[in-house]
Amino acid sequence: MDSKVIVKKPEDLLGPLNHVESKFAPKELFLKGDLQLFEAGPRVAIVGSRNPSLEGIGDTTVLVRNLVKDNVVIVSGLATGIDTIAHMTAIAEHGQTIAVLGTPLNYCYPNENFELQQTIGKDHLVITQFPEGSPVQKGNFPMRNRTMALISHATIIVEAGKTSGTIHQGWEALRLGRPLFIVDKLVANTALSWPQEMVTYGAIPLSIANIQRVFETLPASGSRFIDVALST
């Protein structure tokens, strides 16, 4: 795979953006890897806690295994925890994965995912909106989550606490009109208010044992972005 950095506008990859999509879309994206992943199949973001429980890790593994069987490209943010499990499971299951970074391509955060980032950039696809030389700061990561929601046909939140950055992506998916799924155990957790609040705005509780609802919201391919929810 060619390791050079490719620069694209979001609309080059997704097709024309509507006014809701374009509001927070980055002007440019910097990519390394296989651009054909935007043609390969529908894209689903799997996101969640940096400190997942064993149950959260297991749920992520089961979700990804079932999604890649149906040619779904797994998108995540290369963070520790759920993100890392999602990427690694997709690779182990001979699926395809896209990592959306909160750093420039020549920087890796967290450091322990350096080899994983290199593998994804070589055999899959790495994307960032931050050019080389950009400072790495906390505010980058909510921006990264917005971009991840933008390029994904749907988002699934597996496990997240009260202050998780994953919550930003959930609200952004809803703002964009993208299908947002929240694992039903989170929705049932009375210690958390945000899952139920998101459900009132259209998020869908998801049973790990039955993910057919996810497939019902996805286009047949990833060749061009289809407004599944916005067109209704």
The answer to whether position 57 is within a domain reads yes
- Domain limits for position 71: 24-216
- Residue 222: pLDDT over 80: no
Q: Locate all alpha helices (DSSP H) within the chain, ordered by sequence.
A: 10-14, 19-23, 37-40, 54-69, 82-92, 114-123, 140-151, 166-176, 184-187, 194-200, 212-216
pTM: 0.93
pLDDT digits (tens, 9 = 90+) for 138-162: 999 999 999 999 999 999 999 998 8
pLDDT digits (tens, 9 = 90+) for 59-113: 999 999 999 999 999 999 999 999 999 999 999 999 999 999 999 999 999 999 9
The answer to whether position 221 is within a domain reads no
Rounded (5°) CA angle 28-19-25: 25
Residue 1: predicted pLDDT: 42
pLDDT (mean) for 126-140: 94
pLDDT digits (tens, 9 = 90+) for 172-197: 999 999 999 999 999 999 999 999 99
- Residue 230: pLDDT over 80: no
Using alpha carbons, list the distances in angstroms from residue 109 to 24, 76, 100, 147: 23, 13, 11, 17
The answer to whether position 13 is within a domain reads no
* Average pLDDT over the chain, rounded to an integer: 92
Residue 162: predicted pLDDT: 85
| CATH of residue 30 | 3.40.50.450
Model confidence at 227, pLDDT cuts 50, 70, 90, reads very low
- Residue 229: pLDDT over 50: no
Closest to 185 in 3D by CA, of 157, 214, 164 = 157
The answer to whether position 212 is within a domain reads yes
Model confidence at 220, pLDDT cuts 50, 70, 90, reads confident
The answer to whether position 58 is within a domain reads yes
Q: How far apart are CA 5 and CA 109, in angstroms?
A: 18
Q: How far apart are CA 26 and CA 104, in angstroms?
A: 14
Q: How many domains does the chain have?
A: 1
Backbone torsions φ then ψ of 132, nearest 5 degrees: -55, 140
Amino acid of residue 62: V
DSSP conformation letters of 120-151: HHHHSEEEESS-TT----TTHHHHHHHHHHHH
The answer to whether position 2 is within a domain reads no
The answer to whether position 77 is within a domain reads yes
The answer to whether position 10 is within a domain reads no
Residue 37: predicted pLDDT: 93
Mean pLDDT lowest for which of 125-134, 170-179, 213-222? 213-222
Tokens describing residue 97: 């994965």
pLDDT (mean) for 185-212: 95
Residue 4: predicted pLDDT: 87
Q: How far apart are CA 224 and CA 74, in angstroms?
A: 16
- Rounded to the nearest 10°, the torsion over CA 49, 132, 171, 159 is -10
